[in-house]
Structure 1
Amino acid sequence: MHNLISAFPLYNFLKYCNTNSLEKNILDCGAGGSNPPLSLFYEFGYKTYGIEISKEQLEKANTFCAEHNTDLNIIQGDMKKIPFNNEFFRFLFSYNTSVHMKKEDFSRALSEFYRVLKYGGLCYVNFLSEECNSYGKGIQVGKGEFIQIEDNEEVFYCHYKENEIEECFKKFEVIYKEKRLIKRKIDDKEYISAYFDYILMKKE
């Protein structure tokens, strides 16, 4: 039975990956959690690899693997210094990680994504837009960067302007771009989240 994941844009990324007839190996940067999106690619025959900086999220992913008798090959690691050789992967994705990272740190991660991808390889990334109604809330700690309190804990959020996102992609070719606006109503309160999704190809 197929395991549904909540990271719906990755179904579209999978479609792009499946049209490529080359080696099917993929890296997830930020691969932890109780329902790892890597499981989707595993079901389609990909050799999966994942790195996760949080021990707690890594443990949740390991529990998922044990319960589903699945080896997703997720290890502890930092996407700002990916522990794999140059041009090791054909495909790579990092879902919602830029949302909780400083812009300078995610810029370093993008350089690492470029390094470990093969030429012609595909990469999925997404960003939180300033159009979210959460923008500007909390304590501002940088341009578009805020710390908010959720359940008595500090949570870091990073928002981007559309033009500043694409300045980060000079080494990549943008082959897919989508803007998503999500409205949800919880306890009679409306929440708006806005994202930019990109599929990038490593240029020579």
Structure 2
Amino acid sequence: MHNLINAFPLYNFLKYCNTISLEKVILDCGAGGSNPPLSLFYEFGYETYGIEICEEQLEKANLFCNSCNMDLNIIKGDMKKIPFINEFFSFLFSYNTSVHMRKEGFSQALLEFYRVLKHGGLCYINFLSEDCDTYGKGVQVGDGEFKQIEDNQEVFYCHYKDNEVEQNFYGFEIIYKEKRIIQRKIDEREYTSAYLDYILVKK
């Protein structure tokens, strides 16, 4: 039975991956959580790998794998130093991880994404836009970077201007770009989230 995931843009990424004649081997950077998006690719016959730096999120992913009898190969790891050899993967994605990383750190991760991807391989990444509600709230710690208090916990949000991040796409070509603006009403309060989505190919 197909496991529905909330990371809707990854269905579009899967469609792009299915058109590429490379071995179906994929890496998720930031793969933890109670419903890992890697499960979508697993169900479509991909050889899956994931890295997750947070022990709590890694444990949630392992519980999911055990309960659903899926071996997604998610291990502890840092996307700024991916524990795999050069050009090991045909496909790679990092969904909503840049949201909570400093810009300098994610720039390092992009270099690693390029290193571990095969030539002609595809990469999906997304970023928070400055049009998001979280922009400008809390204590500013950098350009577009803010620390906020949510449910008595400190949360970091990183926002990008349109086209800002593209200067860091060394060796990649953009083949898909979308700006998504999502408006929701929860408990009579309106929220706006805005994302910049990219699919890149390694040249």
* 2:60 is the alignment partner of 1:53: no
- Secondary structure of the 1:162 match is coil
For residues 49 and 132 of structure 2, the distance between their equivalents in structure 1, rounded to whole angstroms, comes to 32
SS of the aligned residue for 1:80 comes to coil
1:35 corresponds to which residue?
A: 35
Structure 2 match to 1:177: 177
What residue is the counterpart of 1:19 in the other structure?
19
Match of 1:86 in 2: 86
Unaligned regions of 5+ residues in structure 1, if any? none
Letter of the 2:57 counterpart: Q
Q: How far apart in 2 are the matches of 1:151 and 1:31?
A: 24
Question: Root-mean-square deviation (CA), in Å?
Answer: 0.6
Q: Which structure 2 residues correspond to residues 64-79 of structure 1 after superposition, within 5 A?
A: 64-79=64-79
The residue type paired with residue 194 of structure 2 is: A
Between the aligned partners of 2:121 and 2:14, the Cα distance in structure 1 is 13
User: What is the distance in 2 between the residues matched to 1:194 and 1:55?
Assistant: 28
* Secondary structure of the structure 2 residue equivalent to 1:104: helix
The match for 2:4 is 4
Deviation (angstroms), 1:21: 2.1
Write the mapping of 1:43-192 to structure 2, written as runs, cut at 5 A: 43-192=43-192
**SS of residue matched to 1:7:** coil
Amino acid of the structure 2 residue aligned with 1:187: D
Offset, 1:164: 1.2
Which TM-score applies when normalising by structure 1?
0.98
Task: Report how far residue 110 of structure 1 moved.
Answer: 0.3
When the two structures are superposed, what TM-score results if normalisation uses the length of structure 2? 0.99
1:119-158: CA deviations, max 9, x gaps?
0100000000000122100000000000011110000000
Q: Deviations over 1:61-85 (max 9, x none)?
A: 0000000011000000000000000
Aligned partners of 1:169 and 1:51: how far apart in 2?
A: 21
The answer on whether the counterparts of 2:111 and 2:170 sit within 8 Å (CA) in structure 1 is no
CA distance in 2, matches of 1:111, 1:161: 20
DSSP 3-state at the match of 2:96: coil
Q: By how many angstroms is 1:22 displaced?
A: 1.7
> Which amino acid in the other structure matches residue 80 of structure 1?
K
Which runs of structure 1 show a deviation greater than 3 angstroms over 4 or more consecutive aligned residues? none
Structure 2 Cα separation of the partners of residues 133 and 93 of structure 1: 25
Identity %: 80
